[in-house]
Amino acid sequence: MKNDIHPFQVVLYEGKGASAWDKAERLSVTATLLDKGYSVKRITENVANESTSPVSDAYPVLILGEFNEAAPDVFDGSGKLEITTRDTADLDSDGILELVATVRGEKDAGLNQPGEKGAWKPWFPVIDYDRCTNCMQCLSFCLFDVYGVDDEKEIQVQNNDNCKTNCPACSRVCPEVAIMFPKYTSGPINGEPVKEEDVARESMKVDITSLLGGDIYSSLKTRSEKAKSRFSKERSPDKALTERKKCLTKLQQSGIIPAEVLAELDLSTLPSPDEIQRKAEEMAKLMGES
Amino acid sequence: MSDTPSKILYCRCAFAKVVPDGVKTEVLDGLCESGKSFESVADLCEMAARKDPRIQTLLDESGTTRIAACYPRAVKWLFHQAEAPFPSDDQVEVINMREEKAPDILEKLLKS
């Protein structure tokens, strides 16, 4: 989803050598660019401090301004920035937006545009390490390999692209309420401060998952082993798939994974019995070493 | 934190409707009217997810930064996950547009 997206910075310059923008135009252009997925930096003479951080390197920067003279040529001393300046004095809001799109096209900078077909909604877990106890429940639970561990064997989000949009299931089974989905509607999953009753409620949900057979992962592992056995005897991928469907049905009944998320799942993309087995062995090894 | 922020950052949260439209528009309007420099991004979550290199520049390492976004706990760990952790909790103030009213947010962002 992200390989064709490139950083592209728009700067609205109202500092020395340029006039202030019309206030309605300034708001309109800024809001519209943001809603289209751009980052916008406004620079005025009245800088909040005297040391605004420099625009970082290695991506195109478009500086827009109503310059008192011709739009200046601006060069990056390091030679890494691709700075383009354009005068907007004769342009209305629509003209400015068109100009930005044109320059972005010239720079071949892809953009993840909210609301556009194919846009990737940033849905992924964020771990609160002040709460996380590294219990690995999330790693065990997630079917999609979103989680992994770093060199220090600390849990981390490694493959956020794999996360299923609108599924906060791992957050619901986290016993420490340490997993957040910032785009979720309600707390504590959305990052609201955690209350005592939240911790108690999440513990109850973990107990619910245990009804599926010790824990979800054990259930999956057992089922996958059975499926694997049958698979090897009968060479029937359909049966292995049926096993996964059965397990997912139980998950659905538990209410942990939203029904609409399960309905949209392409079951053929779920981990194979072999992959589940491999993950189980890795987990066992990890837990044994820690 | 210091009353003289070195940076102001505004997140539009453009990929979700969890921040009230009226609040985020009023806050952006106030920033545009303020005459101060500020940074604004379409969606911090989206930038963090793809580890956009610009996220490394959004926080002032030596000064202070005020961020208008969502829940402070989420924002703090979002930056951490994007390999751009807060330099210290004292140097970053996160103001929650999901819960607070626009005039209050602006007052906190712009106070000097």
Cα distance between residue A52 and residue A77, in whole Å = 17
Give pLDDT, residue A42. Answer: 94
Domain identity same for A90 and A140: no
At residue A72 the predicted structure's pLDDT band, cuts being 50, 70 and 90, is: confident
Domain identity same for A213 and A99: no
Does the distance separating the beta carbons of A191 and B70 come in below 8 Å? yes
Domain identity same for A67 and A16: yes
The helix-helix angle for A23-35 and A93-106 (nearest 10°) equals 40
Residue A115 belongs to a domain: no
Does the distance separating the beta carbons of A51 and B60 come in below 8 Å? yes
Mean pLDDT of A38-64: 69
Domain identity same for A138 and A247: yes
Residue A2 belongs to a domain: no
Residue A113 belongs to a domain: no
Measure in Å the smallest separation between the Cα of A56 and chain B Cα atoms. Answer: 6
Q: Which of B46, B91, B96, B99 to mutate to test the interface with A (most CBs of A within 10 A)?
A: B46
Domain identity same for A157 and A232: yes
Does the distance separating the beta carbons of B42 and A128 come in below 8 Å? no
Q: Number of residue pairs across A and B with CB atoms under 8 Å? A: 161
Of B69, B100, B51, the residue nearest A191 (C-alpha): B69
Domain identity same for A85 and A176: no
Does the distance separating the beta carbons of A127 and B77 come in below 8 Å? yes
Percent helix / strand / coil, chain B, rounded to 5? 40, 15, 40
pLDDT at residue A286 greater than cutoff 80: no
pLDDT at residue A234 greater than cutoff 60: no
Cα distance between residue A280 and residue B8, in whole Å = 46
Nearest to B12 among A35, A119, A160 (CB): A35
Residue A188 belongs to a domain: yes
Domain identity same for A89 and A142: no
**How many other CB atoms sit within 10 Å of the CB of residue A233?**
9
Domain identity same for A191 and A150: yes
Identity of the amino acid at A96: I
Residue A238 belongs to a domain: yes
Cβ contacts of A65 on chain B, cutoff 8 Å: none
Structural domains counted in chain A: 2
Domain identity same for A217 and A262: yes
How many percent of chain A have pLDDT more than 90?
A: 34
Cα distance between residue A198 and residue A181, in whole Å = 15
At residue A213 the predicted structure's pLDDT band, cuts being 50, 70 and 90, is: very low
The HSE-up count of residue B103 (CA atoms within 13 Å, CB side) is 0
Of A186, A181, A187, A127, the residue nearest A154 (C-alpha): A127
Cβ contacts of B3 on chain A, cutoff 8 Å: none
Cβ contacts of A192 on chain B, cutoff 8 Å: 71, 73
pLDDT at residue A117 greater than cutoff 90: no
Measure in Å the smallest separation between the Cα of B83 and chain A Cα atoms. Answer: 12
Query: What number of H helices and E strands is found in chain B?
Result: 4, 4
Complex confidence, ipTM = 0.94
Does the distance separating the beta carbons of A185 and B42 come in below 8 Å? no
Of B46, B56, B51, the residue nearest A57 (C-alpha): B56
At residue A203 the predicted structure's pLDDT band, cuts being 50, 70 and 90, is: low
Of A232, A216, A52, the residue nearest A141 (C-alpha): A216
Domain identity same for A88 and A156: no
Does the distance separating the beta carbons of A23 and B37 come in below 8 Å? no
> Which chain B residue has the Cα nearest residue A6?
B52
Residue A248 belongs to a domain: yes
Does the distance separating the beta carbons of A59 and B54 come in below 8 Å? yes
The answer to whether the CB of A141 falls within 8 A of the CB of A205 is no
Mean pLDDT of A21-28: 93
Q: Residue A228: give the domain boundaries.
A: 126-289
Cα distance between residue A145 and residue A158, in whole Å = 8
At residue A179 the predicted structure's pLDDT band, cuts being 50, 70 and 90, is: very high
Beta-strand (E) ranges in A68-124?
82-87
Domain identity same for A208 and A268: yes
Cα distance between residue A42 and residue A53, in whole Å = 12
Strand A60-67 and strand B65-69: the pairing is: unpaired
- Give me B24's structure tokens: 């985020």
Nearest to B29 among A27, A120, A191 (CB): A27
Whether chain A has a CB inside 8 Å of the CB on B17: the answer is no
Residue A4 belongs to a domain: no
Domain identity same for A91 and A160: no
Higher pLDDT, A180 or B50: A180
Give pLDDT, residue A2. Answer: 57
